[in-house]
Amino acid sequence: MYYRYPKEFIGYDEALEMQKLGFYEECMCILRNGLIEVDMPTFQQAFRWFRRRFKLDSYVYRTDSSSENSLYWGYMIQYGYREKEKRFNCKSFATYEIAEVACLKSLISLAKDLEEDEDKSEKSLVVLPKN
């Protein structure tokens, strides 16, 4: 599915996935596709939501290659704090925008995994009767 909208907003597929994860914040842009209405957050709004909701901190950065005139972009995602911290680092994207979209897709994937782990831990809780 292809729609034209400003590059400040995330893609339709990513917005739909975020909505499935519980994103229901007011956005400047809403896309209607038949009966489906999807809030279209900006990249900044999406990254902020993942930071608040799932404690997934992320950023896109520039990296220089050892060869001359080689400039690449990468992203870093951190989850948790101190001893429970996990880091995900990915490099070598041709443009900032490509790295930004790749980072967002990784955030969505990690958030799904976190929700799945949370569901499993809730189901594994055993309630013992009072003595």
Q: What is the pLDDT of residues 106-120, one digit of tens each?
A: 999 999 998 887 766
121 vs 128: which has the higher pLDDT: 121
The residues spanned by each domain of the chain are: 12-109
Q: For 56, what's the count of Cα atoms within 13 Å in the CB-facing half-sphere?
A: 24
- Does this model's pTM top 0.85? My answer is no
**Residue 77 pLDDT greater than 50, yes or no:** yes
> What pLDDT digit, counting tens, does each position of 17-70 carry?
999 999 999 998 888 877 888 999 999 999 999 999 999 999 999 887 655 567
Who wins on pLDDT, 79 or 121?
79
